[in-house]
Amino acid sequence: MNIIKYIDNNTIKILSKKNENIFDIDSCIDNNFIEEINQISDNSKYQSDYINEIFFHYEFNGYKFEKYFHKFNINEAKIHKNDKMGNIFISKCLKNKISISLSTRLKYFILSIINFCIATTSVLILSLLLPLYTILKYGFRDKDNISNFSIIRSKASNEKMSFIKEDFDVLMYEDSLTYKNNYLSMYNMTITEKLLLLIIIPYYSIRDFIFIIKESNMYFDSFFSGYILNHYKFRIVHKNIYEYALKLLLKHSNGIYYTGNKEDRFAICEKRLLKKYDVKSICIPHGLEYSFKRPAGLVGDNFYCTSENAKKVLTNLYSENNFIFDKQILSKMFSKNLKKVEEQKIVFFTESRGIEINKKIIESLLKNGINLYLKLHPKDNVSNYNIFKDKITILNNLNEAITNNICISRKSTILVESFFNGSFPIAILLEFTDKVAVEHLFPSLSDNSITKVYDVKELKQIIKVNKYNAPTNS
């Protein structure tokens, strides 16, 4: 009898009569895994705008466990830690008829029912309150004929897309429920359109609730939908008000729609409505592309890629989009337009997850005599690095940090951005999960424009050779 034990969201243990082996969960990801997950994506039947997110955040992780079930002929499972990944593990055990303790199953079922009840109550209440808030908060629409337009949903998206306003004569709207930047609110409507919110949003929410349950059941056991619905309990109503407001704007549009969304629920909502109203679209993504297929694809008749390699990978995955690699557009997206400075720094950019990995890398760099500067991820905290406070310098200005420096990161858009700001980008891959991300998941990070290193001695030599010789993107 072979037993699989879930330790945490990074680790599993395989136990047999003779052996006990510990695995990094991501160690199953290789080219074959990507091919198989693409096949699952192709076979997925969906109706909701959430399918790509459900596929990535849940099924993609769940399939990792199924790989181990089949490889090691697993017939019993144990769990050490109950968390999001642990619930995925339990559900996949139930779906594959792998024995798991009664107490674990009971706890899983009870929590699922509680989550389902909380999600149902939250969605019903918000389906009445958020439309009412929108009616009272926002004004009336003053434009009936719209040419080119875009909806900005975040600071990151605005930073990448603000140039289109002047360059392509684009009318800028904002999703003012989540982001404010003095653009027009997409939620300005006529009085009739506002009143209809109170009827249409509850209907949309019930529709999405049912679709999410169906799509969860496609991949997992019937109780797992409670956990997914709980995750979306505050997100469903917002997406539906966005959908309603976008539909009104598209009805009055005779131009091109520009979006920074790629494959999330907002992107797939946009894709569906753009097709319905026959509006052409251009995607200028504010994040990195993935190298595996999503069931609902990507939004954008024309899609600007962040690297030549990303264009190649995405063209092989999707036939309905025109993928473009344009250095001029990318320069406008990423360039901070700062003057070149004399002093070139060696900057390590932390990530918000894997703080211990960040610290391990910093310690290794310092031990090898590298004069290091640190730029924290927005969700990271300087207190995490107090042990290094006398040995490193913290940089607060992102634009200066990515300009004309040697920029080191594990797996981040920073590596792409720094290249377009005259810096020398280096992906440092000391941990297995980082290697998997760069080599198999993010085609732009595996692009030749980014140097990959696998140990600190190699990094030190590369720094010595390349200091003051940052690549040009022209």
pLDDT of residue 458: 87
pLDDT of residue 473: 52
Q: Which residues contact 275 (CB under 8 A, 6 or more apart)?
A: none
Q: Which DSSP letter does residue 103 get?
A: H
Q: Do domains 142-180+253-334 and 346-466 have the same CATH topology?
A: yes
CB pairs under 8 A, 24+ apart, for 326-334?
Answer: 327/473, 327/474, 329/284, 329/304, 330/304, 330/306, 330/420, 330/473, 331/420, 331/473, 332/163, 332/167, 333/160, 333/161, 333/163, 333/284, 333/304, 333/420, 334/160, 334/416, 334/417, 334/419, 334/420, 334/421
pLDDT of residue 431: 87
Return the domain boundaries, the chain. 2-107, 142-180+253-334, 346-466
CATH code of the region 142-180+253-334: 3.40.50
CATH code of the region 346-466: 3.40.50.2000
The one-digit pLDDT tens for each residue of the chain (474 residues) are 799 999 998 899 999 888 899 999 999 999 999 999 999 999 999 999 999 999 999 999 999 999 999 999 999 999 998 899 999 999 999 999 999 999 999 999 999 999 999 999 999 999 999 999 999 999 987 767 889 999 999 988 999 999 999 999 999 999 999 999 989 999 999 999 999 999 999 999 999 999 999 999 999 999 999 999 999 999 999 999 999 999 999 999 999 999 999 999 999 999 999 999 999 999 999 889 999 999 999 999 999 999 999 999 999 999 999 999 999 999 999 988 777 666 789 999 999 888 998 998 999 889 888 889 999 998 899 999 999 988 999 999 999 999 999 999 999 999 999 999 999 999 999 888 899 999 999 999 999 999 999 988 888 888 877 664 544 554
pLDDT of residue 370: 86
Q: Do the Cβ atoms of 281 and 260 come closer than 8 Å?
A: no
Determine the Cα–Cα distance for residues 346 and 466; give it in Å rounded to an integer: 11
Burial of 259 (0-12, 13-18, 19+ CB in 10 A): buried
Secondary structure (3-state) at 15: strand
Which residues in 382-396 are b (16+ Cβ under 10 Å) and which e? eeebeebeeebeebe
**Alpha carbon distances (Å) from 414 to 73, 411, 420, 425:** 41, 8, 10, 8
Q: Do the Cβ atoms of 68 and 28 come closer than 8 Å?
A: yes
pLDDT of residue 42: 97
Q: Which residues contact 461 (CB under 8 A, 6 or more apart)?
A: none
pLDDT of residue 68: 97
The pTM score is 0.92
pLDDT of residue 338: 77
pLDDT of residue 474: 44
